[in-house]
Amino acid sequence: MEKEIYTQEIEISKEDTIRSFKNLQPSLHFSVDELLYYPYLFFEHSFARKNPLSPLKGIIGSIVDGISGVAALADKAPTFQIKTVSAERLLPSTIQKHRAVQIAEDYIFRTLSTKIKVLLTPKVTLQKQLLFYRPYWIVDAKQIGKDDFRLMVDGVSGKYHPL
């Protein structure tokens, strides 16, 4: 079964991924097993504080991991494309949308009050929300006389995580 999703363009190809790891560890054999899509929720909020001495307003973006629920600021809105992929390649989101909205809003309030040092809580309004999937390469690494291992490589940034 196929599903139409919002995703980001793959910047790091399968070949680039293998070549990069071979350069780091030439004694290991690397192969890309598959491409999976990891769920995230993107939120854009407007914020405003009416204070005649120092008014504050703007737009702030955040991203909530669709599996762990961890939030982060988005320094700029990601560019999305619509793509049709096999549903088998999609990792299911375990965070419900209403819960993700709450996580994002809590994170934004904490960020505004600590990082920007806002004393009066600004009014925060949800402007946009979107479920999207980020592409990840699953890399198998084989080594003689040692345990094999797998890595999950971000197809946009090239950052990797052991599995």
pLDDT value at position 162? 87
- Parse the chain into domains and list their residue ranges: 2-49+56-162
Nearest to 126 by CA among 96, 160, 103: 103
Percent of the chain with pLDDT over 70: 93
pLDDT value at position 155? 96
In angstroms, the CA 132 to CA 3 distance is 12
- Under a CB-based contact definition with an 8 Å cutoff, are residues 64 and 40 in contact? yes
* Angle, CA of 32, 134 and 30, to the nearest 5°: 15
Q: What is the mean pLDDT of residues 12-35?
A: 92
pLDDT value at position 111? 84
pLDDT value at position 86? 97
Render pLDDT for 39-69 as a digit per residue (tens, 0 to 9): 999 999 998 877 666 667 889 999 999 999 9
Render pLDDT for 93-126 as a digit per residue (tens, 0 to 9): 999 999 999 999 999 988 877 766 656 677 889 9
Render pLDDT for 126-138 as a digit per residue (tens, 0 to 9): 999 999 999 999 9
pLDDT value at position 17? 94
